[in-house]
Structure 1
Amino acid sequence: MERTVLANEIYQTAHLTGTFTLRSGKVSNDYFDKYLFESAPGLLREIAEHLAGLIPSDTEILAGLEMGGIPIATALSLKTGIPVVFVRKKAKEYGTCKLAEGTEIRGKRVCIVEDVVTTGGQILLSAQDLKHHGALVRNVLCVIEREQQGRDNLEKAGLNFLSLFTMEELIAANLSSY
């Protein structure tokens, strides 16, 4: 699928209007319900196809953040063969008490995978947690870059931030389809 067509498909599938409070606390009239595009197998496959080319070549493990990053990281793992871990917001307090479920991350180059980035707050927390557990975290990959603030915060923290689409690109793709 051509990139502009994919952008329009994501927009048509996941864009909602109304009054929404974002994770950052900001209120917005535009919202992308990531679970709508993540739960559509054909669309998720196309997203993984396009994101795969953005994965830094030295990546050894994809780290899907709870909860929206997990389906994207899984689809990317199936597409590329790169192992995946599932990162909790907080290490579980029973059983294995793990933060990252799956393969070993210690000493591995890990690329964090997220769905939508607004401020990057959870990514920054998870990156620190992963580093604390021995992962080498330099890269973050997402489907939708909602606000410039997210990019600024991640880059200020020394992370390389790659996004498939900005929110503006999704809106423009929808407008150009008329």
Structure 2
Amino acid sequence: MSAVEEQMMELKRRLARLLVEKSYREGDFVLASGRRSDYYFDCRVTALHAEGSWLIGTLFNHMLKDLDIKGVGGMTLGADPLVSSTTVISHEQGRPLNGLLVRKEAKGHGTGQYVEGLGNFEAGDRVAMLEDVVTTGGSLLKACHRITDAELNIVAVCAILDREEGGREKLREAGYELLALFTRAELVALAR
């Protein structure tokens, strides 16, 4: 393992500990998909924490380092802090990526658009999509459709947590390969 890979693994361990402390709860929960689960993962708490935001932005930038992309996007509200931290760190690292935020509903005034930030892109630009948690992949696919409707080319879809509940397969069927920082087992193991 190279020195950079060792450093990234240490950052991943730090993020796992923070996520388990702030965002991961075991119990009986109903998810946005309607499914029941024995755990709940609210990534926003960690993504809005100063160190958590820095770790997420740094690790997503490392994940995307070999891709020729102009920016990153995601569905509001969950992806807002992910997009922000990734764009800020990208600028700091000298490889600036612009951000896109996808609305759940079209803006009710002005241009009525679904996607914010398009003024920093041109048709055909390559982007990566970011998501906090992938369960069924439904909200991520909805965001992807809005981005492709805006004539941008999605070359990667990335998540902090893959719940391994069918989302990866659903995304693959749509032509996207999911890159995730953690599965539940990896998250819990690395947090120890």
The question of 1:72 aligning with 2:82 is answered yes
AA paired with 1:134?
E
Map 1:55-66 → 2, pairs under 5 A: 55=64, 57-66=67-76
How many angstroms apart in 2 are the aligned matches of 1:165 and 1:155? 18
- Count of residues in correspondence between the two structures: 175
How many angstroms apart in 1 are the aligned matches of 2:101 and 2:110? 16
* Partner in structure 2 of residue 7 of structure 1: 16
Q: Which of 87, 102, 108 is residue 102 of structure 2 equivalent to?
A: 87
The question of 1:47 aligning with 2:56 is answered yes
Q: Which of 112, 116, 127 is residue 110 of structure 1 equivalent to?
A: 127
How many angstroms apart in 2 are the aligned matches of 1:154 and 1:21? 22
Residue segments in structure 1 that go unaligned for 5+ positions in a row: none
TM-score norm. by structure 1 comes to 0.91
Structure 1: 4+ residue segments shifted above 4 A: none
**Maintained 8 Å contact 1:109/1:136:** yes
What is the SS of the residue equivalent to 1:54?
A: helix
AA paired with 1:64?
G
**Maintained 8 Å contact 1:105/1:133:** no
Map 1:1-178 → 2, pairs under 5 A: 2=10, 3-55=12-64, 57-80=67-90, 81-102=96-117, 103-104=120-121, 106-174=123-191, 177=192
Residue segments in structure 2 that go unaligned for 5+ positions in a row: 1-6, 91-95
Provide the identity percentage.
30
C-alpha displacement of 1:106: 2.4
TM-score norm. by structure 2 comes to 0.85
C-alpha displacement of 1:4: 2.3
How many angstroms apart in 2 are the aligned matches of 1:79 and 1:38? 14
- Higher mean displacement: 56-65 or 78-87: 56-65
> Are residues 121 and 27 of structure 1, via their aligned partners in 2, closer, same or farther at CA, if it must alter by over 3 Å?
same
